[in-house]
Amino acid sequence: MFAAQLLLEPAAASARTGHWAKGAKRALAQHWPEYMIEGLCLGMFMISACTFAAVLEHPASPIRMSIANPDIRRFLGGIAMGLTAVLLIYSPLGRRSGAHMNPATTLTFYRLGKVASWDAVFYALSQFMGGVLGTLVAFLALGKTLAHRDVNFAITRPGTLGVLAAFVAEVVITFLLMTVILNVSNSRRFARFTGIAAGTVVMLFITFEAPFSGMSMNPARSFASDFVGMQWQAIWIYFTAPVIGMFAAAEVFVRTRGLNEVICAKLNHSGNARCIFRCGYMSHTAI
């Protein structure tokens, strides 16, 4: 009996491997446009982040020279990145992929049962690659301007209060962000305002929270800047805290409203773009 089990185990493992490979190939064949869009969206977000960081913080920038107050510059940066997020979410690209642009967001919707496993894997991979490519494009365009110490590749890093404060701050802001997304996107009355709500939260957090952690909320966003800048200070914070914060928000939502109240994983479900998620909208069959 034992010998028979030893002979069967490799065959079972091979069957599982083949099943996984087929699942991955099927997901790629069917949903590759959405994967590419996710990478492209985060890439554009990173180009915007790097550009506005250079415009607002490089000493030779006319805006930097005319606005000495760092709080005002941070507020302007918040407006710029909030608007960037809103435009991407409501763009045709964002309507197609759902505009996660964040592995922590994708994993949270996977936890909520709205994203299939291979879709979650390929979304996350595309987001990381897109973020890096976007930052590289910004580096090619801006060169030494982006590398200047006052701009520093738009890297997110802990503030003067240290690593622990940065970690706690990232958990809190990601908890709040996902709480807003879940409550607004799952209201049939207000769902169309999810992008505006998310962009507003990004603007507020950059303005008021950035001094504590750099305001990342996104593992792929932080990795992209660190990879191109070859600096890895406290990168673990930006890989762990966003997932913890968003998962906690999802748990609170499920316990208070129920798992069935999660309609879809898209941040913007307007238009007739197809939905690849386990969607509760009647329009999910649209092409």
pLDDT given for residue 285 in this prediction:
41
**pLDDT tens, 30-64?**
999 999 999 999 999 999 999 999 999 999 999 99
pLDDT over 70 at 10, yes or no: no
Give the mean model confidence (pLDDT) for residues 111-129.
97
281 pLDDT band, cuts 50/70/90, is: confident
pLDDT given for residue 269 in this prediction:
87
Give the mean model confidence (pLDDT) for residues 135-149.
97
In a domain, 26, yes or no: no
CB-based contact 100:185 (threshold 8 Å): no
In a domain, 17, yes or no: no
In a domain, 13, yes or no: no
Percentage above 70 pLDDT, the chain: 91
pLDDT given for residue 20 in this prediction:
74
Rounded to the nearest 5°, which phi and psi values hold at 91? -70, 165
pLDDT given for residue 25 in this prediction:
87
95 pLDDT band, cuts 50/70/90, is: very high
pLDDT given for residue 284 in this prediction:
40
Query: What are 130-133's contacts with CB under 8 Å, separation 24+?
Result: 130/38, 130/39, 130/40, 130/41, 130/42, 130/43, 130/46, 130/220, 131/39, 131/42, 131/43, 131/45, 131/46, 131/220, 131/221, 131/223, 131/224, 132/223, 132/224, 132/227, 132/228, 133/39, 133/43
In a domain, 19, yes or no: no
Q: Per the structure, how many domains does the chain have? A: 1
Q: At what angle do helices 219-229 and 235-257 cross, to 10 degrees?
A: 170
Q: Rounded CA gap, 281 and 100, in Å?
A: 18
Domain ranges, residue 275: 31-285
Q: Which residue has the higher pLDDT, 72 or 10?
A: 72
In a domain, 185, yes or no: yes
65 pLDDT band, cuts 50/70/90, is: very high
pLDDT given for residue 28 in this prediction:
86
In a domain, 24, yes or no: no
Min mean pLDDT across 7-11, 97-101, 120-124 is at 7-11
pLDDT given for residue 241 in this prediction:
98
**pLDDT tens, 13-31?**
555 666 678 888 898 889 9
In a domain, 14, yes or no: no
In a domain, 106, yes or no: yes
Q: Rounded CA gap, 184 and 198, in Å?
A: 9
The dihedral built from the CA positions of residue 176, 182, 185 and 188, taken in this order, carries a sign that is negative
**pLDDT tens, 182-220?**
999 999 899 999 999 999 999 999 999 999 999 999 999
Give the mean model confidence (pLDDT) for residues 123-129.
98
Question: CATH number for the domain including 116?
Answer: 1.20.1080.10
